[in-house]
Amino acid sequence: MAAPDALKVLYLAGMSHSGSTIIGHALGEVDGFFFAGEIDNLWQRGLIENRTCGCGEPFRECETWSAILRAAYPFLTLAEIERMRDIHLKYVRLRGARTLVDLRNGRLPASHPLLHYRNMLDRLYAAIRKTTGAGVIVDSSKSPWYAAVLGTSPRIDLHLVHIVRDPRGNIFSFVRRGRHSSRELLFRAARWNAWHLATERLHARGGAPYVRVRYEDFVSRPSETMIEILGLVGIDDPALEFLSEGSVRLHPKHLFSANRSRNVVGDVALKLDQEWRSQLPAGPRTMITAITLPIARRYGYGPS
């Protein structure tokens, strides 16, 4: 259970290519919110690869992230960065699910690497709040397994936004630029099922406040969707001047890991990508539909 002074994290869960970046960008426009992007990729993409931040600077030269990291880890070494990356790769995955259950149930020994990992994350999120002054941190890491780690910390008040998208549109966005085999489509459809079921179970077992939103609804009714999300963290009458029906006005954010739209600023049109309806062949479309329909139907997606 979160402590009374725990910091609020609005966690965007779901598959990649489902709209988490644009939704997170919009949430980052709300007063008192800091959109940090995919924080789970800090160790590899941020600190090791030194990717470009949304401010235009390499990650390690970004003033905001440099200040955050100094506050969190005054003596951070390359060995510690690599250790955190390796713990993440070993345990914060589907194959580490049993260890994550032990973490939730308090059955891990004090020396277990995952407890060190969680302690380091506590320091990181606290430093984000202290440095930016944000009351709510928006994290688009998406992974239900990473969210499971955050959800066990008494210092983090986790709120889950489960973002879903029509599985045919989602999977087509992964494969549209090249040839794809039936085996790959089968894998991606099964992964779509597993990812969303894991997110549902995370909510059911962890008890974090939860809302599910459809990417298609955000595009067609952005204000209504934002009001629903913000209600999750107790904001009932938000100022949404940056939103209109059909567009969102965005300012630069300090995103080092998200999709290509992370650096988009200005008035951005909200347009639903429906290319899959004309470009996804009948055979693959039928396969994806058959595999995902039992879950997709619960989210309001039919067979056609």
User: Can you list the residues of the chain whose pLDDT is less than 70?
Assistant: 1, 177-179, 258-262
pLDDT at 304: 84
- CB-based contact 212:300 (threshold 8 Å): no
pTM of the model: 0.94
pLDDT at 174: 85
Cβ within 8 Å of residue 86, ≥6 positions away = none
Cβ within 8 Å of residue 82, ≥6 positions away = 43, 48
Sheet of 136-142: strands edge to edge? Answer: 33-37, 136-142, 7-13, 156-164, 210-214
**What are the sequence ranges of the domains in the chain?**
7-299
Beta bridge partners of 13: 142, 162
pLDDT at 295: 97
In CATH terms, the fold of domain 7-299 is: Rossmann fold (3.40.50)
**Model pLDDT for residues 68-113, shown as the tens digit of each residue:** 999 999 999 999 999 999 999 999 988 788 898 899 989 999 999 9
pLDDT at 242: 93
pLDDT at 260: 65
Tokens at residue 91, please?
A: 């345990």
Strands (E), the chain: 7-13, 33-37, 136-142, 156-164, 210-214, 243-244, 247-250, 266-269
Cα separation, 272 vs 192, whole angstroms = 20
Beta bridge partners of 160: 11, 210
pLDDT at 178: 64
